[in-house]
Amino acid sequence: MNISKSGYRVFSANSTTACTELAKRITERLGVELGKSVVYQEANRETRVDVKESVRGQDIFIIQTIPRDVNTAIMELLVMAYALKTSCAKNIIGVIPYFPYSKQCKMRKRGSIVCKLLASMLAKAGLTHIITMDLHQKEIQGFFSFPVDNLRASPFLIQYIQEEVRIYYTQPHCSWTSSEEQAQSYAERLRLGLAVMHGEAHHSESDMADGRHSPPLSRTTTGHTGLELPLMMAKEKPPITVVGDVGGRIAIIVDDMIDDVEDFVAAAEILKERGAYKIYIMATHGLLSADAPRLIEESAIDEVVVTNTVPHEVQKLQCPKIKTVDVSMILAEAIRRIHNGESMAYLFRNIAVDD
């Protein structure tokens, strides 16, 4: 494709080489060259973006993968979007496979809904559309004032199971383990049994910081001191238990992301005790923070399968159990369809609301 006549450009907003790998795969599939720009951090850690070619009147797609330095990646995206906006780009579409701060999408006591704040910042910077994948909560799409295409990685992960786990796939029964509807969706598509994991490995959330001692006790008040409201009992979640038979079968834990792996390791130990033959973890976003590679390597988990929405090459070197599935194909097709004004329904074939 001749990039001078394509009517759109694809840029990478990352300043690190490891994070541009997905952008290169996408542009190769599209048959275009990556847009010419320079993204870097100055000596005082300020982010600077220089766009090296004209973008006037064109559709611009900014691919931004999120490394461990989340806040720097966000600033790179915001600054590049604003630079393209002031350069008279027609439309600015953010391709953000893993949307950061997606776990902070609910109000927690005196906290804030940071995900909504980020959505407002992206709109203010000039973005007019977002392509993302497997949001932590689908309701996050309501935070945006512009269209959001929330793609699914499940077809690629299911294909991996069919092709790479085929040695054991002929067993009459396999068990799927998760507490989410996503596991049921996988099980129904592959005509397999379903087991459910219930409970948590970590301690229950403390309710001591709920404001019961505010205002400070030293403050004197006059008159009525307040109502005696019924005291709500604190939640206490049970330890991890498995509902369903996993003895002598393959167990696959399904989730949208894997970051801190303590819960997954604890779940794998329970599954081994219950007689599971092999244990796989399937997740879209492999954040794998802190000591995750070491914990996985030392655990009963046989394989962790994630997509390349987040760069994790360093973690793979530390733990050979981590495998990667490429999703650049669906991201490239989404870019092509949006630019050409084609329907996105093809990318959501046989995908239900609960998937």
CA distance 136 to 287: 13
Residue burial 132-161, b: 16+ Cβ < 10 Å; e: rest: bbbbbeeebeebbeeebbebbbbbbbeebb
Give the pLDDT of residue 174: 54
In what order do the strands lie in the sheet containing 322-325?
A: 241-243, 193-198, 175-177, 250-258, 278-286, 303-307, 322-325
Q: Which CATH architecture has domain 8-151?
A: 3-Layer(aba) Sandwich (3.40)
Which residue reads 């959501």 in tokens? 348
pLDDT in tens, the chain (355 residues): 434 456 899 999 987 887 899 999 999 999 999 999 999 999 999 999 999 999 999 999 999 999 888 999 999 999 999 999 999 999 999 999 999 999 988 888 888 999 999 999 999 999 999 999 999 988 899 999 999 999 999 999 999 998 888 544 445 445 555 545 777 888 888 888 888 787 766 544 444 444 444 555 555 555 566 677 788 777 777 777 887 888 888 889 999 999 989 989 999 999 999 999 899 999 999 999 889 999 999 999 999 999 999 999 999 999 999 999 999 999 999 999 999 999 999 999 888 776 6
CA distance 189 to 172: 15
How many helices (H) does the chain have, and how many strands (E)?
10, 14
Helix axis angle for 181-190 and 154-164, nearest 10°, is: 50
pTM (two decimals): 0.86
User: According to CATH, where is 3.40.50.2020 located in the chain?
Assistant: 8-151, 154-199+241-325
Cα–Cα nearest to 183, from 240, 135, 245, 253: 253
Give the pLDDT of residue 294: 96
Cα–Cα nearest to 131, from 349, 346, 352, 332: 332
Give the pLDDT of residue 194: 82
Which residue reads 């949001």 in tokens? 135
CATH code linked to domain 154-199+241-325: 3.40.50.2020
